[in-house]
């Protein structure tokens, strides 16, 4: 079976089926990403106008169709050993490195990997301390190198070794980040959750924040509204 495609910008249509396969983004001035994401959208009645919004799509589809510019990236600031390797890497560790920069390796979740592949040089990310006594946003960092092959997947001594990944077809990617600054005050998860619950009940930028809707995701996209609101909290008294 060879389908007959029609194209419109970054979208491709199967006219005979009434389905739209959305590629990349519905935003203006779309830019290609390192990966192509497909999402089947609702079937149309013959002759019916196509209309959908990201709010109508599940998290994965809607975010994969968006060109994000802000991020939240989780790491563990307290010692935890895995296969004899200490997984500790907090914002103070990043700040202490030469050039205050490091690769962000060890991501072994496909959606988190795909988000890293969307990252562009110069974009900002919150450094989030996770799996610790007081999780929360500790500071800001900048993406200084876009996605490339994560070498730790091939290192048998590394905690993130993946025997199923091959050098000629690597599964995992990483980016390089550079310390930007500490937050004016640490933003604890407990405070962020209060805002999230308020916004979910009454409306607000954190109502659908991935930190609470996709809790296990270590690399998360932020909307401009989410990023600006979170940044504004450092100048306010805790809720």
* Interior angle at CA 232, CA 239 and CA 238, nearest 5: 15
Per residue in 42-62, pLDDT (tens digit) is 444 444 444 444 444 455 555
Which sequence spans correspond to the domains of the chain? 70-234
Distance, CA of 124 to CA of 128 (rounded, Å): 13
Burial of 171: CB neighbours in 10 Å, binned 0-12, 13-18, 19+: middle
Neighbours of 204 (CB within 10 A): 17
> Could you tell me what percentage of the chain is helix, strand and coil, using 3-state DSSP and rounding each to the nearest 5?
25, 30, 45
* 163 vs 60 pLDDT, higher one: 163
On whether the CB atoms of residues 73 and 127 are closer than 8 A, the answer is yes
* Residue % of the chain over a pLDDT of 70: 72
pLDDT of residue 66: 67
Average pLDDT over residues 176-193: 98
Tell the CATH topology of 70-234.
Answer: ph1033 like fold (3.10.590)
Average pLDDT over residues 149-165: 97
pLDDT band at 67 (very low <50, low <70, confident <90, very high): confident
Considering the entire predicted model, what is its pTM? 0.74
On whether the CB atoms of residues 87 and 129 are closer than 8 A, the answer is no
Q: What is the largest CA-CA distance in the chain?
A: 62
Burial of 222: CB neighbours in 10 Å, binned 0-12, 13-18, 19+: buried
Per residue in 103-143, pLDDT (tens digit) is 999 999 999 999 999 999 999 999 999 999 999 999 999 99
Pairing of β 81-82 and β 70-75: unpaired
Per residue in 5-31, pLDDT (tens digit) is 444 444 444 444 443 433 333 333 444
């Amino acid at each position: 079976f060879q389908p007959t495609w029609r194209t419109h910008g970054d979208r491709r249509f199967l006219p005979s089926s009434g389905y739209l396969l959305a590629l990349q983004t519905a935003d203006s001035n779309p830019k290609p990403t390192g990966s192509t994401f497909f999402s089947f959208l609702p079937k149309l009645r013959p002759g019916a106008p196509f209309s959908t919004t990201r709010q109508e799509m599940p998290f994965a589809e809607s975010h994969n169709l968006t060109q994000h510019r802000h991020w939240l990236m989780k790491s563990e600031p307290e010692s935890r050993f895995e296969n004899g390797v200490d997984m500790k890497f907090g914002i103070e560790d990043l700040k202490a490195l030469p050039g205050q920069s490091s690769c962000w390796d060890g991501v072994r979740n496909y959606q988190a990997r795909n988000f890293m592949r969307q990252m562009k040089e110069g974009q900002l990310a919150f450094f989030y301390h996770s799996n610790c006594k007081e999780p929360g946003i500790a500071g800001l960092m900048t993406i200084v190198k876009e996605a490339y092959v994560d070498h730790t997947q091939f290192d048998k001594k590394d905690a993130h070794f993946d025997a199923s990944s091959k050098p000629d077809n690597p599964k995992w990617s990483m980016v390089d980040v550079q310390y930007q600054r500490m937050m004016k005050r640490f933003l604890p998860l407990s405070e962020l959750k209060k805002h999230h619950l308020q916004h979910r009940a009454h409306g607000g930028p954190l109502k659908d924040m991935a930190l609470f809707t996709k809790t296990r995701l270590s690399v998360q996209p932020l909307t401009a509204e989410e990023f600006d609101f979170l940044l504004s909290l450092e100048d306010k008294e805790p809720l």
